[in-house]
C-alpha cells in the first residue's frame, strides 16, 4: 500500500467546508493548511460560491488540478457518495474525520465505505479520527493551530487510535524535547491499520522508533501485527488501553475494537521484544531512549552519582523494574580510586552505585564514567548529575558524551530540567545521549533498552 499521498501530499481537497460556520472542522483544517503548510488546498462545498475570496468547489470533481489527498468532514451518511466522487476524480487517498460509524453502532455503513474503497484500492485513514500531522507537510487535525502544541520534527513515528491521546502525547513530547517524524490518529482504522503503518515506518528513512497507542485488534489481527514486528528493523513501543474489564468495555464503545485478554497480549509483546509502556510517562521515556539506542541490552546497569541519595533512589527504581545493578569488578574500583582527586578519594563510595560526592569535579566524573563503561558487568551507564555542585562545569554533558562515544556503551543522563542547566542538557542531546528530568525517568529509559531486542 503506497501511503505517500497521505503523508507527503502536494495537493489536498477539504470536503465539507462551511459557508456559515468558521469553526466547522473542515474550515479549521482548510484554513490551517491553506495558510501554514506547503500543500495546495482546495475547499469543497456543494453550494459552491466563495470563501474568503477563494472559490468553493461544488464537488471534488470540479477541481481542475490533480488531487493527492481528500479530507472528508461531512455527515456519516454522505461519506460513501463522497468517497465514490473522490475515486472518480482520481484522488489517491483520504482522511475521514467524520464520526457516526462502527463506534456508534453503524457497522454496515462503515463496511460500505470500506467495500467501495477496497475495490478501487483507495486507502483512507479513519473514520472517527483526527488524521495526520506530518511536520512541515500537512495537518488534518480539526483543532485550531494556535491551541496545538507541536513537537519539533524528529524521528519518532506515532500511531494512535485515540485523537485525544495523540494530542496529549504531542504536548508531552514537546515538553521533553522529543521530535516526531509523523503522527497519525487512525480512529476506527477501517482501512489503514497498525500493520500498514508498521510497513510504512519501517521503510521511512526519517523514522527511528515506531510508537503505538492501541485499544484493540480484530480477530487474528494481533498475530499479523506480531509477525510484522518480528520483520521490522526498528524498535516498537506500545501503550495498550483496555487492560481492565471496564476499560475493555470502554474500548468497544470508543472505536469498536476488541480489547482482548490483556495478560495474554502483554506476554506476547514481551516474547517478541516489543517495549510495552505501562503509562504515558513511560511511553515518552521509551521513545526518547530507543531513538538514541535502537539496540537493546540484557539489563545490567552501572550507576554514577554525585549524591548517595540519588544512587539509592536509582537502585530502588531498578529493583522495581527488574533491572540489575551488578557488583563491579575489583579492577574497575581500584582503577577509579587511584585516579580520583585526593580531596574525595577517601570519601567516595566505589561500589555500584558509585557516589563521587558533591565535591567531585569534571575530571573525576569523566574518568569514573570511562572505567565504569569498561567494566564487563555493565551494559549501560546512568550518569546522575547535580549541576549545582561547585566542581561541575557547563561542559560536563559534552565531556560525558565523548566518553559514551569512545567506549561504545549506552549512556543515559539525569539532569534537572531547568533553563539554567540547558547548556548541560544540550551537551548530551546534541550528541544523541538521552536526558531524563528525574532519576526514575532515567531508569525507565534503561528499562526501554531492556525491553527491546538485543541485537
> pLDDT per residue over 37-68, tens digit each?
999 999 999 999 888 888 999 999 999 999 99
C-beta of residue 95 within 8 angstroms of C-beta of residue 117: no
Does residue 306 sit in helix, strand or coil? Answer: coil
Place of cell 519539533: 152
Q: Which tens digits make up the pLDDT trace of 377-424? A: 999 999 999 999 999 999 999 999 999 999 999 999 999 999 999 999
Q: Which tens digits make up the pLDDT trace of 328-361? A: 999 999 999 999 999 999 999 999 999 999 999 9
Q: Which tens digits make up the pLDDT trace of 111-159? A: 999 999 999 999 999 999 999 999 999 999 999 888 889 999 999 999 9
- pTM as predicted: 0.90
What helix, strand, coil percent values describe the chain, rounded to 5? 45, 20, 40
Supply the pLDDT for residue 251.
47
Cis amide linkage into residue 127, ω under 30° from 0: yes
Supply the pLDDT for residue 194.
96
Q: Which of 26, 94, 15 is nearest to 60 (CA)?
A: 15
Q: Which of 239, 195, 192, 243 is nearest to 220 (CA)?
A: 195
Q: CA 454, CA 9: separation in Å to the nearest integer?
A: 37
Q: CA 414, CA 314: separation in Å to the nearest integer?
A: 10
Q: Helices 439-451 and 308-320, interaxial angle, to 10°?
A: 40
- Residue-wise DSSP of 276-294: EESSHHHHHHHHHHHHH--
Q: Helices 396-407 and 422-429, interaxial angle, to 10°?
A: 20
Provide the Cα torsion 144, 145, 146, 148; round to 10°: 90
> What cell numbers appear for 59 in the block?
464537488
- The upper half-sphere exposure of residue 95, i.e. CA atoms within 13 Å in the direction of its Cβ, equals 30
Higher-pLDDT residue of 222, 180: 180
Supply the pLDDT for residue 245.
53
Cis amide linkage into residue 131, ω under 30° from 0: no
Instruction: Give me the chain's average pLDDT, please.
Output: 93
Q: Which tens digits make up the pLDDT trace of 162-202? A: 999 999 999 999 988 899 999 999 999 999 999 999 999 99
Distances (CA, A) of 356 to 145, 219, 401: 48, 55, 18
What's the distance, CA 449 to chain centroid? 15
Assess whether pLDDT exceeds 80 at residue 231: yes
> What cell numbers appear for 348 in the block?
567516595
Q: CA 86, CA 69: separation in Å to the nearest integer?
A: 9
Place of cell 550528541: 431
Provide the 10 A C-beta neighbour count for residue 157: 27
Q: What average pLDDT does the segment 310-326 reach?
A: 97
Supply the pLDDT for residue 271.
82
Q: Which tens digits make up the pLDDT trace of 357-388? A: 999 999 999 999 999 999 999 999 999 999 99
Supply the pLDDT for residue 45.
96
Q: Which tens digits make up the pLDDT trace of 247-295? A: 455 545 545 554 557 778 778 887 877 889 999 999 999 999 999 999 8
Amino acid at each position: 500500500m503506497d501511503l505517500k499521498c497521505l503523508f507527503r501530499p502536494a495537493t489536498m481537497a477539504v470536503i465539507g467546508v462551511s459557508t456559515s460556520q468558521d469553526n466547522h472542522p473542515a474550515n479549521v483544517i482548510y484554513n490551517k493548511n491553506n495558510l501554514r503548510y506547503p500543500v495546495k488546498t482546495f475547499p469543497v462545498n456543494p453550494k459552491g460560491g466563495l470563501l474568503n475570496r477563494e472559490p468553493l468547489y461544488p464537488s471534488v470533481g470540479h477541481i481542475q488540478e490533480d488531487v493527492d489527498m481528500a479530507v472528508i468532514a461531512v455527515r456519516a451518511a454522505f461519506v460513501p457518495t463522497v468517497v465514490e466522487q473522490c475515486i472518480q476524480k482520481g484522488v489517491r487517498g483520504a482522511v475521514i474525520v467524520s464520526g457516526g460509524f462502527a463506534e456508534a453502532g453503524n457497522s454496515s455503513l462503515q463496511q460500505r465505505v470500506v467495500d467501495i474503497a477496497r475495490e478501487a484500492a483507495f486507502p483512507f485513514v479513519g473514520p472517527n479520527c483526527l488524521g495526520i500531522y506530518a511536520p512541515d507537510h500537512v495537518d488534518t487535525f480539526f483543532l485550531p493551530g494556535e491551541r496545538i502544541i507541536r513537537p519539533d520534527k524528529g524521528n519518532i513515528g506515532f500511531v494512535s487510535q485515540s485523537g485525544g491521546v495523540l494530542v496529549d502525547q504531542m504536548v508531552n513530547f514537546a515538553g521533553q524535547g522529543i521530535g516526531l517524524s509523523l503522527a497519525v490518529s487512525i480512529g476506527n482504522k477501517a482501512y489503514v491499520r497498525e500493520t500498514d503503518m508498521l510497513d510504512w515506518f519501517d521503510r521511512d528513512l526519517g523514522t527511528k522508533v515506531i510508537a503505538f497507542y492501541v485499544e484493540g485488534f480484530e480477530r487474528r489481527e494481533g498475530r499479523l501485527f506480531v509477525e510484522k514486528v518480528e520483520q521490522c528493523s526498528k524498535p516498537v513501543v506500545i501503550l495498550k488501553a483496555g487492560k481492565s474489564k471496564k476499560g475493555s468495555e470502554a474500548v468497544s464503545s470508543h472505536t469498536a475494537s476488541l480489547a482482548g485478554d490483556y495478560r495474554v497480549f502483554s506476554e506476547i509483546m514481551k516474547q517478541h521484544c516489543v517495549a510495552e509502556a505501562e503509562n504515558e510517562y513511560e511511553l515518552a521515556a521509551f521513545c526518547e531512549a530507543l531513538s538514541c539506542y535502537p539496540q537493546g541490552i540484557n539489563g545490567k546497569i552501572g550507576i554514577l552519582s554525585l549524591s548517595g541519595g540519588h544512587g539509592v533512589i536509582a537502585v530502588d527504581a531498578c529493583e522495581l523494574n527488574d533491572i540489575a545493578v551488578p557488583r563491579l569488578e575489583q579492577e574497575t574500583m581500584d582503577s577509579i580510586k587511584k585516579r580520583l582527586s585526593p580531596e574525595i578519594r577517601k570519601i567516595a563510595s566505589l561500589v555500584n552505585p558509585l557516589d563521587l560526592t558533591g565535591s567531585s569535579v569534571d575530571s573525576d566524573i569523566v574518568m569514573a564514567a570511562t572505567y565504569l563503561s569498561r567494566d564487563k558487568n555493565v551494559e549501560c551507564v546512568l550518569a546522575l548529575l547535580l549541576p549545582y555542585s561547585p566542581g561541575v562545569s557547563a561542559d560536563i554533558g559534552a565531556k560525558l558524551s565523548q566518553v559514551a562515544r569512545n567506549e561504545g556503551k549506552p549512556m543515559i543522563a539525569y539532569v534537572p530540567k531547568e533553563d539554567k542547566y540547558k547548556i548541560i542538557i544540550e551537551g548530551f542531546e546534541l550528541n544523541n545521549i538521552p536526558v531524563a528530568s528525574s532519576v526514575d525517568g532515567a531508569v525507565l529509559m534503561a528499562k526501554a533498552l531492556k525491553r527491546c531486542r538485543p541485537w
